[in-house]
Amino acid sequence: MIQQGVPADDRGLTLGDGLFETVLARAGALVLFDEHFTRLCEAAAVLGLAAPEKPLVRRQARAALEQAELERRRAAVRITWTAGSGGRGLDRPAEPAPRLMVTAHEALRPDTPARLATASVRRNPSSPTASLKTLSYLDPVIARREAAAAGGDEALMLDLGGAMACAAAANLFWIERGRLFTAPAEGAILPGIMRAQVLAAARRLKTETVIEAAPPERLADADGAFLTNSLIGVRPVASLDGQPLRQSPLTAALAAAVTAVS
Amino acid sequence: MIQQGVPADDRGLTLGDGLFETVLARAGALVLFDEHFTRLCEAAAVLGLAAPEKPLVRRQARAALEQAELERRRAAVRITWTAGSGGRGLDRPAEPAPRLMVTAHEALRPDTPARLATASVRRNPSSPTASLKTLSYLDPVIARREAAAAGGDEALMLDLGGAMACAAAANLFWIERGRLFTAPAEGAILPGIMRAQVLAAARRLKTETVIEAAPPERLADADGAFLTNSLIGVRPVASLDGQPLRQSPLTAALAAAVTAVS
């Protein structure tokens, strides 16, 4: 099998200049593909890149699933959209030609609740890397490494003010007296597609939602907390920095209501 | 000619998980190679990666210069050291096998002083991307784009407190009443190899040096300012955000004293 790749002068490789999306595929169907594609296009506009062609991305996603023999499995389709080849140093060529790469991998769902550990790397709202899914993804990689070193399996990342932002690869929600809390979408977090699904499910369940930048100490007194992303859906949080957290029945109710990833 | 590249699962490409160095080559000789190699190894340790083998890097640099027919020219040798293939999502495989890639390009020296424009993207000292030369280099790319949109040709990047940190791809110095100023090496800047050469040259010239995080307004009253990196050496700054800056004879004196890039 020929391994697809990129040339040495691809700016995604040399400078992290590009974007990606990770889409859940169930039995060959791409879950919430329109939402992922729209987010990719909007992010490309922020970075000053053209958007890919939607039918091409769909075709390549199907081909990647087929090649990996994952048409009947739960799979992660990764869409990578780099700024393409070349340019002198930091500057892109006058007419950048972005490069598309689509791969597929089996996506097992974690069957244990997350053990969070607070990372020292904080999210910088002045950087597009905090709010877009860019190829400059080292901060979450380092945060996850820090969490693993501290005995966790996912990182809690704070914003510059020390408030809870999100996990390394997921959004964070917590529950206080029947109300659902999550960090504001502006700046420091990637506003997840599953986050939006959970907020919509909360509206359907008549659960009041509060968007708030709150310090991590709030989790100790919360009735429960969970993480969301397109691959894991809703995953309860078991502990933060070794301290067990309460488990709320609302977590399971919201997980059930998010039918798109059931 | 076969274009060297990386496979689709290389973490340098997918996550910006890796490092690079850009070394000046003059007539086939690598300038300050030991310093670049040491910085690369130290940065690899911070990221939890093994270091490359020094003789191998040297050999590949020579081969890249030869292949590009740049053995007799002023050239930039780029050493890329990725975290290698694979891993599930953010987590590296248990035994990462980093990947080395070395390329060479002609390096013309800019023959005009820099026109700086202040970027909105700020440098985050909690992130290794601020102080290491990582493959997650999108912030400087965006800063440079902002500068170009504002009519500049290089960006002034501030730290989170609004003090001058550096340019997108260079360190910044300025001069006040015969004293040389630059931002502190801790956290928000990549401590450049040419920066260290300039500080050493200042000592030889008995020029007092002050390490200070200062607001950009200080440049307006400064006697001169310049940028440094391994490829440009010392480059005077003509203006900041359209306001012309003074030119100090100390800039040329320091440029002459930094013989390594003469």
Pairing of strands A114-118, A233-240: parallel
The tens digit of pLDDT for each residue in A3-61 reads: 478 999 999 999 999 999 999 999 999 999 999 999 999 999 999 999 999 999 999 99
* Contact at CB, B127 and A126, closer than 8 angstroms: no
| Joined tokens for residue B73 | 């020219």
* Contact at CB, B121 and A126, closer than 8 angstroms: yes
Cα–Cα nearest to A22, from A14, A30, A13: A30
CA distance B32 to chain A (A): 20
State residue B7's pLDDT score: 94
Which among B7, B12, B168 has the least Cβ separation from residue A90? Answer: B168
Which among B17, B124, B140 has the least Cβ separation from residue A124? Answer: B124
Sheet architecture: strand order including A29-30: A29-30, A18-26, A74-82, A99-106
Interface test with B, best of A105, A138, A144, A146 (most B CBs within 10 A): A138
Please state, as a whole number, how many other Cβ atoms lie within 10 Å of the Cβ of residue A87.
Answer: 18
The tens digit of pLDDT for each residue in A168-212 reads: 999 999 999 999 999 999 879 999 999 999 999 999 999 999 999
Q: Is the pLDDT of residue A260 over 70?
A: no
Dihedral over alpha carbons A187, A192, A193, A196 (to 10 degrees)? -70
pLDDT by residue for chain B (262 residues), tens only, comes to 334 789 999 999 999 999 999 999 999 999 999 999 999 999 999 999 999 999 999 999 999 999 999 999 999 999 999 999 997 799 999 999 999 999 999 998 888 999 999 999 999 999 999 999 999 999 999 999 999 999 999 999 999 999 999 999 999 999 999 999 999 998 799 999 999 999 999 999 999 999 999 999 999 999 999 999 999 999 999 999 999 999 999 999 999 999 755 4
Q: Which residue reads 């499910």 in tokens?
A: A201
State residue A2's pLDDT score: 39
Q: Which whole-number Å values give the CA distances from B97 to A159, B92, B115, in the listed order?
A: 32, 10, 42
Which among B12, B88, B168 has the least Cβ separation from residue A13? Answer: B12
Chain A residues in contact with B122 by the CB 8 A cut-off are 124, 126-127
Q: Is the pLDDT of residue A110 over 90?
A: no
- A86 interface with B at CB cutoff 8 Å: no
Cα–Cα nearest to B195, from B224, B250, B163, B234: B234
A1 band by pLDDT with thresholds 50, 70 and 90:
very low
* Contact at CB, B13 and A82, closer than 8 angstroms: yes
Cα–Cα nearest to B175, from B258, B227, B241, B248: B248
CA distance B123 to chain A (A): 8
State residue B1's pLDDT score: 35
CA distance A126 to chain B (A): 5
Helix (H), strand (E), coil (C) string for A27-55: CCEECCHHHHHHHHHHHHHHHCCCCCCHH
Stretch 87-146 of chain A: residues touching chain B, C-beta under 8 Å: 89-92, 101, 103, 105, 120-122, 124, 126-129, 134-142, 144-145
Helix (H), strand (E), coil (C) string for chain B: CCCCEEECCEHHHHHCCEEEEEEEEECCEECCHHHHHHHHHHHHHHHCCCCCCHHHHHHHHHHHHHHCCCCCCEEEEEEEEECCECCCCCCCCCCCCCEEEEEEEECCCCCCCEEEEECCCCECCCCHHHHCCECCCHHHHHHHHHHHHCCCCEEEEEECCCCEEEECCEEEEEEECCEEEECCCCCCCCCCHHHHHHHHHHHHCCCCEEECCCCCCHHHHCCEEEEEECCCEEEEEEEECCEECCCCHHHHHHHHHCHHHC
Chain B residues in contact with A16 by the CB 8 A cut-off are 16, 134-138
Q: What is the mean pLDDT of residues A127-147?
A: 98
End-to-end CA distance of chain A: 33
- B10 interface with A at CB cutoff 8 Å: yes
State residue B261's pLDDT score: 56
Which among B20, B120, B145 has the least Cβ separation from residue A126? Answer: B120
Cα–Cα nearest to A19, from A85, A99, A103, A92: A99
State residue B58's pLDDT score: 97
